[in-house]
Amino acid sequence: MASERVAVVTGAGSGIGRQVAQALLGAHYGVALAGRREQPLVESAAGSSAALVVPTDVTDPDAVAALFAAVRDRWGRVDVLFNNAGTFGVPGSVDTLPVDDWRRIVDVNVTGMFLCAQHAVRLMKVQRPRGGRIINNGSISAHAPRPDSVGYTATKHAITGLTKSISLDGRAFDIACGQIDIGNAATELTAGIAVGARQADGSTRPEPTFDVQHVAETVLFMAELPLSANVQFLTVTATAMPFIGRG
């Protein structure tokens, strides 16, 4: 088991996380599937003997420590972390978003990714062979906000800083870190966008989406690179979504 490529996928119970976890399983990775609810994780694992289901609240330091302890006990290493768990949270502008809702968004989108990266890096530094890869799920909102999205937008900008810091600090230990920024992949969370999304000019219009399987294929491409190469930032969107010239 020690030579098997191993991945950890957070937010693996649905949407992008589920598709990526299944793509990695299909590519013969051992995959730890993490998320808050066990049953959706079991469904994502689809009975694969290479899957390890670990219910995890990424905002809880003890739960994240237990996740990586379970990975270490099962496989002895981690080669890829897809740092995916996140939330849109409550919509609002800087003057209307309640501070408790702000903190909940930050806890999931920033602290959760920090905790998972922290434990992944600690294991990657000491395992043999050394090193590994972290892929952070950013967003188009790491570049351009939607209206009334101050919590989500601020945290996704923060992930860009986290990605750069991990890349720099991990360089000496054969740890690569990159970020995928996704725009309008068709999942349960983005279903409303295809019906109508608020635009910068105040109007509401439907936006095009694209098959989430293309995200899974892109993450797998990033994961499969040798550690001597890295996709630092990659943007994948529905071609006609309002991003370039948004609004």
| pLDDT digits 0-9 by tens, 19-57 | 999 999 999 999 999 999 999 999 999 999 999 999 999
* 197-198/204-205 β-pairing: antiparallel
Position 226 in a domain:
yes
Element (H, E) at 23: helix 15-26
Q: Is residue 244 part of a domain?
A: no
Output the six-digit token pair for 142: 């790491």
> Is position 64 within any domain?
yes
Q: What's the pLDDT tens digit per position in 64-73? A: 999 999 999 9
Residues designated catalytic: 152
- Structural domain contains residue 233: yes
Residue 104: phi, psi to the nearest 5? -65, -40
81-96 pLDDT tens trace: 999 999 999 999 999 9
Q: 242 lies in a domain?
A: no
Domain count, the chain: 1
> Considering the domain boundaries, does residue 1 fall inside one?
no
* CATH number reported for the structural domain that contains residue 108 in this entry: 3.40.50.720
- pLDDT, tens only, 106-163: 999 999 999 999 999 999 999 999 999 999 999 999 999 998 999 999 999 999 999 9
Q: Does residue 246 belong to any structural domain of this protein?
A: no
Domain membership of residue 37 as a residue range = 6-237
225: left (phi over 0), alpha (psi -120 to 50) or beta: beta
pTM (2 d.p.): 0.94
Joined tokens for residue 237: 């969107």
First-to-final CA distance of the chain: 51
Residue 245 lies in a domain: no
